[in-house]
Amino acid sequence: MKRIAILILFVLAVATLYAQNVPQTVNFSAMLRDSVGNILSDTNVSLYLILREGGANGVTVYTTQTTTTTNANGYVSVMLNRGLSSNGMPFTQIPWENGDFWIQLDYKTDDMNDYRTWGVLELTSNFYSFMAGKANKLEGIDFYVENPEDGDALVYNSETGRFEAQALTPPRAPALSTVLEAGNDAGGMNISNLAAPVASNDIVTKEYADSVCHRIIAAITNLNCSHNGHEYVDLGLPSGTLWAKCNVGAAAPEDRGGLYAYGELYPNTNSSTSTYTGEQSDFLPAEADVASVFWGGGWHIPTIAEMDELRFYCSFEWNDFGYIVTGPNGCSILLPVYSPTGDDYYCSEYFYIRSSSVNYILRGSCNLLEVLDSSSAYVAYPIRPVFRPENNN
């Protein structure tokens, strides 16, 4: 069967807007198939390009011919504009500015006796980007600039009718003395009280504005925040865990409250195996959790994971009563200092909070929060309850 080459044509004029560096290139890509659609791989094909001006049958201004071979997928990609046309006009001198150019493509494979015309197409606007290689004026304005330097700007000179290079001078902030020069008192307003504004026309620093914002957020977040009769603080933790404002048995955040051995429901200050009555299970059951039993509503002694979240997502600092722990949203709780070696819990910069896992405690000391497995179940520590709203029962 005689093969008939069917070409799929993609023509692209590649040009940039650099006056002296416009690539004079027409890339042509095609895929060859036979009459039933089979790919013609490893097939020799000759291509003949004709550029016409003034219509599909217009004057021929440029011709070129090339021979190539399809790849395994029947694909060819060549540059058609290498060389001179038959009438001697170089490709670089084609008068693209005239417009109305058409392209005709003829092709022939080895088993064809003569060239066949694929068709004639009108060129799209991207071909005329070749004009960028000739453009150095616009509407009579000369764009050629002598001796430009890095960072210069082009400034038009109406006397010479040309753009000229001019170095840019970075703007400088005016001095306050210039702004408030004689006769300009800024409407009688003075800059004052940046750290503690009191008057209606005082201005403030960003630090002061941020502190006000944090106080407002804390006030809104903690407005009437109580659960089952006990106040809590939302620290903005990822898990949504809410921490109580006070320890179990404390009347205020700075009070230590009661001391509890693991699994015991009543305060124990002896910290002795002889008086210990709790069960040393790995996980504290609800009936042995003093927060769950006496506060109810889902309150419980914090787990190790909840203590770790407090450590990883909060900042803390020492004050006269203990450690202020501040969450991601700017809200804070106070964990009061407690010394397990004496009754005066202001004598040491430590705080301890028992966890729901046997022997594990949360300790704050020397600017360090850590969860420790360093106590026995019978040693009594303060309890700071937590709860999660989704677990409320």
Ordered mean pLDDT values, 10 residues apiece, the chain (393 residues): 43 38 65 78 85 86 84 80 58 76 83 81 61 51 66 76 73 62 58 68 74 63 76 92 95 90 87 80 87 94 93 84 87 80 50 86 75 80 91 56
**For residue 381, is it within any domain?**
yes
d(CA 366, CA 351) in angstroms, rounded, equals 11
Predicted TM-score of the model (pTM): 0.45
Class of residue 65 by CB neighbours under 10 A (exposed 0-12, middle 13-18, buried 19+): middle
| DSSP per position, 235-261 | ---TT--EEESS-TT-SSTTS----B-
**For residue 167, is it within any domain?**
no
d(CA 329, CA 218) in angstroms, rounded, equals 8
Q: Six-digit token pair at 150?
A: 């890095």
**For residue 302, is it within any domain?**
yes
Give the pLDDT score at 207. 75
Q: Within its chain, how far is the Cα of 382 from the centroid?
A: 43
Is the same domain home to 123 and 89?
yes
Is the same domain home to 382 and 321?
yes
Q: What's 115's domain CATH number?
A: 2.60.40.10
Residue 9's contacts (CB-CB under 8 Å, 6 or more residues apart) are 28, 29, 30, 105, 118, 119, 121
Is the same domain home to 213 and 287?
no
d(CA 351, CA 247) in angstroms, rounded, equals 12
Is the same domain home to 207 and 238?
no
Give the pLDDT score at 223. 55
Domain boundary among 91, 106, 135: 135
Is the same domain home to 234 and 378?
yes
Give the pLDDT score at 385. 97
Is the same domain home to 230 and 370?
yes
Give the pLDDT score at 104. 83
- Domain total for the chain? 3
Nearest CA to 259 out of 361, 110, 157, 167 is that of 361
Is the same domain home to 27 and 118?
yes
**For residue 69, is it within any domain?**
yes
Torsion of CA 204, 318, 381, 307, to 10 degrees: 60
Q: Give kind and range of the element (H or E) at residue 30.
A: strand 25-33
Is the same domain home to 199 and 243?
no
d(CA 166, CA 145) in angstroms, rounded, equals 10
**For residue 162, is it within any domain?**
no
d(CA 42, CA 227) in angstroms, rounded, equals 81
Is the same domain home to 217 and 235?
no
Is the same domain home to 114 and 236?
no
Is the same domain home to 281 and 373?
yes
**For residue 115, is it within any domain?**
yes
Is the same domain home to 352 and 237?
yes
Give the pLDDT score at 80. 60
d(CA 351, CA 334) in angstroms, rounded, equals 10
Domain boundary among 135, 150, 171: 135
CB-based contact 51:86 (threshold 8 Å): no
Name the H helices within 269-318.
290-294, 304-313
**For residue 35, is it within any domain?**
yes
**For residue 314, is it within any domain?**
yes
State the residue range of the domain holding 337.
226-391
| DSSP per position, 202-217 | ----HHHHHHHHHHHH
